[in-house]
Chain A
């Protein structure tokens, strides 16, 4: 009996393994296709094309609806969705171009009329009409789904509704006059999607496999694994440069570095400076560095007893030697913050004469002495592995605070706490969503955003009043003056501490011609015609 058990069990195990091995070599055909394309790609290099682009990214969107707003999503959304208005990605000053709308004009204070491009074909062969445009916007305005709330408050808070006039005409009705409509409606997150499709299959299914008008369509979406886009041959504009683009999720830095060095992918994202040196030594790998218009910041809890004296907040700010951080953490490739501004605005909105953030140790010491600081421990909350080097920067900052007699502590957490009552400061980032002061102010420092509703940001009434003017005035001079005032109030009230613009790199195969686009927001991965090619 015992003997009889042994052999059959062993044989069963071997049989099972062989069967499963048979299954797995079936899947091998997938990669066999890819590698043969690789070979033909190298052979075709002379004729100037790889057909199938493979990208290793750090993070993935959890769905592909246009309303997916995040650094992970924008990498895909830009290539999948068209907007009414588009931007020239590279021009010195941002230029707005016809997208799905051929022209637009303001017909009264609160109404804009858009004439749509005719004969635009969705991925399922149907024709785009004003119904689709109105639906794409109104669903967000009406917040038909909980996941729309974020996008609503980010870009569409000032829209009342979109009205269908005829098949190719849409009117946008705003709540207050809107000076920034071109900026807002050219963001990929306000992309147009097929109304019929969502109504037929439901949002949950449409999110996994959307029907859009873009130069690429979704071939396959395997969450947390890969996203495969394929060229849309019916695209209304110039056809996409690649037959397929496959995004692979590779969350680990060392895995991304290995994948590009080993030619398993053609491009990888989010390479920090210390890995850059390693890749620079790899033949066949090029690096494209970028210093995004984005600041790493600390959000200060103005309501916390330890920090409610503005002098303490100012002192903490003046005590930080940002240049030192940039040199030591970012090899000098980052940029120390000098004000909450970006040159991308262009003048007159960008005011180079305002540089009210900087290192002033004496002033910091004086301010602390004048304040009611009593040795309380100031904790910096940081989500681990979210902002590159945020932990190292915080440790350095805490050392710098010792010079003015302030006790700091870094608290690393997996997730931020549910309420911020006990929190003095936390890490955050402020990217520039569009090239206007409101592209950073309206998305971060208003009474609609979480720092305010979470009880940390407590601006003066004057701050909120100036914000209103800076956001909604139709007079450019008034907006400039209000923004100037906001920067001054920001200095006085110090609700935030700006650190620096971080630096990171994209690594790609030798021969891939690709550049970062300065007129779309950080992390947008430009893969449309004219934006990327293989030499």
Chain B
């Protein structure tokens, strides 16, 4: 286990360094942050003054070296736009994104699993068929389209739900739903397929034949085995929710890091982009790691290659 952890950590660190390299040089290749922040134009004089003030006139490898050196000490630089520490800006807002993501994840997993189970076990029922159709629809429509539709219906016409901000529990309803519909569809489909496959196995038939109630069989035996592929999906779902929140937050003016990161990209705010992308890849890497560990724990047949 120790060796696994060590090698895994090393691989993760290398991946993140590669991501950083890509983002660092890639962002700078697209142009200057200051032409982005001042679309009405800057004179060469003004541009020079800005570059000097923020150290962007130094040679690229020097900039990179300085950045890594500072980053290892916890200093990720200052936003070119707001001129506050990048960690502070993200720190103020990451909580809001996490709240949204956790609620979306909870709803996705519970509703998704429930839907999947119903569609597998009561495959022929009319409500199952309708559920399947609904799931297909959710799967094909992008989250932000659903978000705008929800706002149109519930905020503009019915005037019962707020369309922006994140202050009250009411504010959570539409963003969480918009963010969850796609994951619900994914999870439901995976659980349905996986459960159907498991149910058709011989040992299930045996258990039923032995007299154990059908539902008990499904929950105690079939479901657990069926969940193994679902764990993979959940790992992907988490990444999907975090990236989906970028767009959903913008639509709902949610005070999280989504709007911040989008604005940073539009402004070519290099330090903000760097930390945002590196942190995001850290989340993805970490989720993959967690999924692999869960695999190893729940299925003794699986030995994850390092």
Contact = CB atoms under 8 A, between A and B. Distances in A.
Interface in A48-79: 56, 62-63
Contacts of A207: 83
A30 B165 CA distance: 12
Contacts of B81: 62
B224 A262 contact: no
Interface string B214-251: 00000000001001000000000000000000000011
B304 to A, nearest CB: 16
Contact of B49 (A17, A20, A146): A146
Nearest to A208: B84
B38 interface: yes
Contact of A416 (B35, B46, B95, B268): B35
Interface in B26-69: 31-32, 35-46, 49-50, 52-53
Nearest to B45: A149
A222 interface: yes
Interface in A1-54: 1-3, 5-6, 13-14, 16-17, 20-21, 23-25, 27-28, 30-32
Nearest to A23: B99
A451 interface: yes
B83 A32 contact: no
B71 to A, nearest CB: 20
Interface stretch (B126-134, B167-175, B198-206): B167-175
A21 B169 contact: yes
B156 A261 contact: yes
Interface in A256-281: 257-259, 261-264
Contact of A258 (B44, B50, B151, B259): B151
B163 A259 contact: yes
Given A25-B169, A415-B36, A449-B41, A146 B50 contact: yes
Given A63-B82, A249-B253, A451 B41 contact: yes
B165 to A, nearest CB: 7
Interface string B154-167: 01100100111111
B123 interface: no
Contacts of B297: 1, 5
Interface in A236-272: 248-252, 254-255, 257-259, 261-264
Query: In this complex, which of B40, B156, B266 has the most chain A Cβ atoms within 10 angstroms of its Cβ?
Result: B40
B260 interface: yes
Contacts of B155: 258, 261-262, 264
A208 B37 CA distance: 17
Interface in A414-473: 414-418, 428-429, 448-451, 453-454
Given A31-B167, A418-B35, A2 B224 contact: yes
Contacts of A224: 259-260, 263
Given A62-B82, A146-B46, A386 B39 contact: yes
A14 B107 CA distance: 10
A28 B169 contact: yes
B48 to A, nearest CB: 9
A23 B168 CA distance: 11
Given A255-B251, A264-B162, A17 B259 contact: no
A257 B156 contact: yes
B35 A225 contact: no
A158 to B, nearest CB: 17
A146 B52 contact: yes
Nearest to A415: B36
Given A13-B106, A255-B253, A414-B266, A453 B44 contact: yes
Contact of A150 (B31, B38, B52, B252): B38
A58 to B, nearest CB: 12
Interface size class on chain B is 35 or more
Contacts of A145: 53
B148 interface: yes
B298 interface: yes
Contacts of B39: 383, 386, 415-416
B43 A248 contact: no
B197 to A, nearest CB: 18
Given A62-B82, A224-B263, A383-B39, A262 B163 contact: yes
A207 B39 CA distance: 21
A176 interface: no
A204 interface: yes
B13 interface: no
A143 interface: yes
Interface string A146-172: 110110010000000000000000000
B296 to A, nearest CB: 11
A153 B42 CA distance: 11
B98 interface: yes
B43 A250 contact: no
Interface in A378-421: 383, 386, 414-418
A24 B82 contact: no
Contacts of A348: none
A91 B259 CA distance: 41
Nearest to B31: A418
A28 B294 CA distance: 36
A346 interface: no
19 contacts: A6-B224, A31-B165, A62-B37, A63-B82, A149-B45, A224-B259, A224-B260, A249-B253, A250-B253, A255-B151, A255-B163, A259-B163, A262-B155, A415-B268, A418-B31, A418-B35, A449-B43, A450-B40, A450-B41
Given A31-B167, A418-B31, 13 more contacts: A5-B298, A20-B102, A28-B168, A63-B83, A149-B43, A223-B84, A258-B152, A258-B155, A258-B156, A258-B163, A259-B163, A415-B31, A453-B44
**Shortest Cβ-Cβ A-B pairs, 6 listed:** A450-B41, A146-B49, A31-B167, A28-B168, A149-B46, A146-B53
